[in-house]
Chains A and B, each alone.
Chain A
Amino acid sequence: MSGKKFIMLFFSSVIGLVGTIALAFYILDPLFYYRDEGLIEPQYNADARYQMPGLLRNKEYETLITATSMGRNFREDYVDDTLNTESLNGSLASSYAKEQSMVAQFALQENEQLNHVIWELNFYSFAEDPEKVLDSATPFPTYMYDDSKLNDIKYLFHSYNVRLAANNVLANVSNDELRRNPEELYKFGQVAPEESIERIDGWLQRAPELQEYPENETKEVMIASFKENVIQVIEDNPDTTFTFFYAPYPVYNQHRYYLQHNRYLEERLAFKEEVFELLSQYDNAELYDFQDQKEITFDAGNYMADAVHYYEYINEYIINTIASEDPVTSKTAYDQQLENLKNQVINFNVDQLRNVGYVNRDETEEDVVSMNQ
């Protein structure tokens, strides 16, 4: 064979093989991106960022939740019953504002029934470049959250599909019924270690004092991201109601930031103030802020031992509040809330903590008992 023929054979084989693989993955659709049920019954094995676009596109829902892990434990059944709706939880752990925004925009693009978006506002999500998405071992698949068909090749020709398709086929062959129900996906904390006030005390004492304040943790950076990723979506969708909320982080989490650098509190309060002013301009936006709710944030028993995450009943509490109480309505009332938070964070000491929330964790304790058996 001549060199020229070899080159032609090489390139034609490469094109043929790439095409065959892409076609095979289009038919198998391991992330259930094009259709919810095709050749194989879905088992949702993938990382949340990869699994979510298919769920957003193919499930039926009127209410979408977009959040970090603080929203991941909203159970759709509970939300449906309480808000009298049909919901989908699109929360992505450790998500940046851009990712949450893309979840919301993709859902709004794909689902005409969607009329309510519940959106968590998290300092972590906004304290970055507005375009920032996860770029790690599980990079955010931007190409799955847009309306371009051309870049679908990135999904159709991806090594992740090999593993996912194999897992799905095996699950169907062996009648494995795990991870079939989207509502059970990505929930966490059922077997989390117990929080203790002693641990919190030591953790606070070890807080490193920052010499220089991080450049990305300023109000300006956070507001820039908020305007680009949130305000734009509100304006583009005037018929959709947007309910925003600040999750009730434990007060000792906020206090630790304050110990590291006083400016954290200052910048975050300024961010909240401006966010409220911006949202006030839109009839289709409302805001709830749970961060000064002492009965939650001063009770270590409400939280897992990572000083961040609360148990599922706090998610239920948030939904109950959204269902039954008014959002923040006036600047004066909100200023008072922010003043409360400021005083709580500055004047906090561990002696103020309770540890009684665990009585609400029946489900969790049952899980722990069953695991120990």
Chain B
Amino acid sequence: MLFNSYVFILGFLPVVVVLYYLLLKLDNKIYSRLVLVLASLYFYSFWNISYLPLILASVFVNYFVSILINRSVKIGYKKLFLVLGVVFNVGLLGYFKYFDFFIENTNQFFQTNWPLLEIALPLAISFFTFQQIAYIVDSYRGETGTYNFVDYSLFVTFFPQLIAGPIVHHSEMISQFKDKKNAVFKSLNFSSGLFIFSIGLAKKVLIADTFAQYANDGYGNLAALSVVDSWITTLAYTLQLYFDFSGYCDMAIGLALLFNFRIPVNFNSPYKSLNIQEFWRRWHITLGRFFTQYVYIPLGGSRKGPTRTYINLFLIFFISGFWHGAGWTFIVWGVMHGVASIIYRAWSKGKYRLPRLVALGITFLFVHVAWVYFRAPDLTTANQMVVKMFNFQALDLPPGLSAVLSSVLNMNFQATPYFFGWSTMLLVMLGYILVFFTKNSIERLEEFKPNVRSGVAVSLIFVASLLYLTRVSEFIYFNF
């Protein structure tokens, strides 16, 4: 079930909200949290019930492992259970997400013919696995309390953050679940939740899905693209990805607020970053937090000299790339960010600083080009797109503009038919005006005050988003 679906917005969500607040009237608040766990499992199973046992097993095993770690007195046992827990989680992820990738590559490089599993990637496995690795590591560090099973299950499965994050930390969620102050209906939180959910829904449905059409058209017709078209395609994808992912996270934040819970911010205008380090402090913030706490620092962080720091930096981005998807394009994307981070770190040791605009331009350009590898179906397509983008010798103008300029300047400008029209270009420009020159949704949430103006505005964008939940793209039934 997706947040941006009628069944979620008009069916699942109202029922769960009503049930939750009705059960809060009971003395024992655990029932209201239990209903959230059950609702979250239903939400998960709606996609494919055959993977329900998987998430249940993952929750049971990790909870059990954390108990074993907490109850072990000897450090050796604690370490053993931690290793077993991490192996279980990584094994689960490896089997379901990466097995076929390894087999495919083994078959290709060694001319073997091992059969593929060909199983669908279980939804959210990357997210709930990471959250639970963090949990058992913290158990080993003695940082987890005596959480009951319902609260632990809710921390892992809480539906607003289950599918696409943010990657929440047990310490920030379970304390909220237990806080009695949250166990009442708070109209201000509910209003804020409606506000940010509506903004997130609009970002996803009205903006991201619009740019997705251009990006898909462009990537699907690579050969027909001119230089300018290739930029429009990739710029549209850069917008799509940001509005899609941050919109989804806004919706998650809003949904949690409906229940009086606050989940962490995951995006903070990342394209306004002046360097790659800042970008990763603004983009998918909770993933960066996870890698810093559970990979970078345990590897030694920056405490073991510059060479080791560079290696550690590279490693977290390499792993991050692979975490995003089992494919070479994601690995290349991760490597690009790893190398860029190393270069920036070395550069930042010096005293020279670039002008803000130049720094912003370089950072954005790098992130933008790297997204080509993130989006393209394979390395060949990605390389072709990048070559096309920078093949300025082939920079031909649209026929209309070429004719006007040739006439006015008395020169001969080459013309080529463009895949995309002016309206697309204008929309892409509008998208970047939104990105660079307006407040982001979290800033707007912080300033939110319930009044008539905000109420009407939010209901307008909510209804517009509802209207565009279903779109029809003309079916070209016979296109010679």
A-side interface residues toward B, CB under 8 Å?
1-7, 9-11, 13-14, 17-18, 21, 47-50, 69, 93-94, 134, 136-139, 154, 157-160, 162, 186, 188-189, 191-193, 304-306, 309
Chain A nearest CB, measured from B252 CB (Å): 19
User: Chain B contacts of A159 at CB under 8 A?
Assistant: 467-472
Q: Which of A5, A14, A49, A309 contacts B459 (CB 8 A)?
A: A14
B475 touches A193 (CB 8 A): no
Would you call B462 an interface residue if the criterion is a C-beta within 8 Å of the partner chain's C-beta atoms?
A: yes
Complex CA distance for A176 and B471, rounded to whole angstroms: 26
A157 touches B450 (CB 8 A): no
9 A-B pairs in the complex with CB atoms less than 8 angstroms apart: A2-B187, A4-B187, A6-B450, A7-B190, A47-B475, A48-B475, A49-B475, A93-B475, A137-B472
Chain B nearest CB, measured from A229 CB (Å): 21
User: Chain A contacts of B458 at CB under 8 A?
Assistant: 10
B450 touches A3 (CB 8 A): yes
User: Chain B contacts of A189 at CB under 8 A?
Assistant: 478, 480
Would you call B113 an interface residue if the criterion is a C-beta within 8 Å of the partner chain's C-beta atoms?
A: no
Interchain residue pairs A-B with the least CB separation, the first 7:
A3-B187, A6-B450, A93-B477, A13-B459, A137-B473, A9-B455, A138-B475
Tell me the residues in window 445-472 of chain B with beta carbons closer than 8 Å to chain A beta carbons.
449-452, 454-456, 458-460, 462-463, 466-472
Chain B nearest CB, measured from A129 CB (Å): 18
Q: Which of B194, B451, B472, B478 contacts A50 (CB 8 A)?
A: B472
A13 touches B477 (CB 8 A): no
A138 touches B474 (CB 8 A): yes
A136 touches B467 (CB 8 A): no
User: Chain B contacts of A137 at CB under 8 A?
Assistant: 471-475
Interface string of B419-445 (1 = CB under 8 A from A): 000000000000000000000000000
How many chain B residues touch A (Cβ–Cβ < 8 Å)?
32
Chain B nearest CB, measured from A261 CB (Å): 21
A1 touches B450 (CB 8 A): yes
Chain B residue at minimum C-beta to C-beta distance from A304: B480
Which among A5, A154, A186 has the greatest number of chain B C-beta atoms within 10 A? A5
Complex CA distance for A48 and B188, rounded to whole angstroms: 47
B459 touches A10 (CB 8 A): yes
Instruction: Give the number of residue pairs across the A-B interface with Cβ within 8 Å.
Output: 107
B477 touches A94 (CB 8 A): yes
User: Chain B contacts of A10 at CB under 8 A?
Assistant: 191, 194, 455, 458-459, 462
Complex CA distance for A323 and B190, rounded to whole angstroms: 68
Chain B nearest CB, measured from A160 CB (Å): 4
User: Chain A contacts of B459 at CB under 8 A?
Assistant: 9-11, 13-14, 17
Chain A nearest CB, measured from B2 CB (Å): 15
A18 touches B477 (CB 8 A): no
Chain B nearest CB, measured from A213 CB (Å): 18
Would you call B186 an interface residue if the criterion is a C-beta within 8 Å of the partner chain's C-beta atoms?
A: yes
User: Chain A contacts of B470 at CB under 8 A?
Assistant: 154, 158-160
B467 touches A158 (CB 8 A): yes
Chain B nearest CB, measured from A43 CB (Å): 15
B477 touches A48 (CB 8 A): yes
A1 touches B455 (CB 8 A): yes
Complex CA distance for A48 and B475, rounded to whole angstroms: 9
Given A3-B186, A188-B477, 18 more pairs with CB closer than 8 A: A1-B449, A3-B190, A3-B191, A5-B450, A6-B194, A14-B459, A47-B474, A48-B477, A69-B477, A137-B471, A138-B473, A138-B474, A139-B472, A159-B467, A159-B469, A160-B472, A192-B480, A306-B480
Chain A nearest CB, measured from B7 CB (Å): 13
User: Chain A contacts of B467 at CB under 8 A?
Assistant: 21, 157-159, 162
Chain B nearest CB, measured from A332 CB (Å): 38
Chain B nearest CB, measured from A20 CB (Å): 9
Chain A nearest CB, measured from B317 CB (Å): 36
Complex CA distance for A108 and B454, rounded to whole angstroms: 50
Q: Which of A9, A157, A193 contacts B480 (CB 8 A)?
A: A193
Chain A nearest CB, measured from B80 CB (Å): 46
Chain A residue at minimum C-beta to C-beta distance from B194: A10
Chain B nearest CB, measured from A178 CB (Å): 15
B455 touches A13 (CB 8 A): yes
Chain A nearest CB, measured from B155 CB (Å): 27
User: Chain B contacts of A134 at CB under 8 A?
Assistant: 475
Q: Which of A2, A49, A139, A309 contacts B478 (CB 8 A)?
A: A309
Known: A7-B187, A7-B191, A18-B466. A13 touches B474 (CB 8 A): no
Tell me the residues in window 185-205 of chain B with beta carbons closer than 8 Å to chain A beta carbons.
186-191, 194
User: Chain B contacts of A309 at CB under 8 A?
Assistant: 478
User: Chain B contacts of A93 at CB under 8 A?
Assistant: 475, 477-478
User: Chain B contacts of A160 at CB under 8 A?
Assistant: 470-472
Complex CA distance for A7 and B454, rounded to whole angstroms: 11
Complex CA distance for A48 and B478, rounded to whole angstroms: 12
User: Chain B contacts of A94 at CB under 8 A?
Assistant: 477
Known: A4-B187, A159-B471, A160-B472. A186 touches B463 (CB 8 A): no
Complex CA distance for A69 and B186, rounded to whole angstroms: 57
User: Chain A contacts of B188 at CB under 8 A?
Assistant: 3
Complex CA distance for A158 and B463, rounded to whole angstroms: 11
Tell me the residues in window 341-390 of chain B with beta carbons closer than 8 Å to chain A beta carbons.
none
Interface string of B398-423 (1 = CB under 8 A from A): 00000000000000000000000000
A14 touches B477 (CB 8 A): no
User: Chain B contacts of A17 at CB under 8 A?
Assistant: 459-460, 463
Chain B nearest CB, measured from A310 CB (Å): 13
User: Chain A contacts of B460 at CB under 8 A?
Assistant: 13, 17
User: Chain B contacts of A2 at CB under 8 A?
Assistant: 187, 450
Chain A nearest CB, measured from B58 CB (Å): 31
Complex CA distance for A134 and B472, rounded to whole angstroms: 12
Chain B residue at minimum C-beta to C-beta distance from A11: B459
Known: A9-B456, A10-B459, A159-B471. A188 touches B466 (CB 8 A): no
A18 touches B478 (CB 8 A): no
Complex CA distance for A93 and B476, rounded to whole angstroms: 10
Chain B nearest CB, measured from A146 CB (Å): 17
A136 touches B475 (CB 8 A): yes
Chain B nearest CB, measured from A235 CB (Å): 31
Q: Which of B191, B468, B473, B475 contacts A6 (CB 8 A)?
A: B191
Q: Which of A21, A162, A304 contacts B463 (CB 8 A)?
A: A21
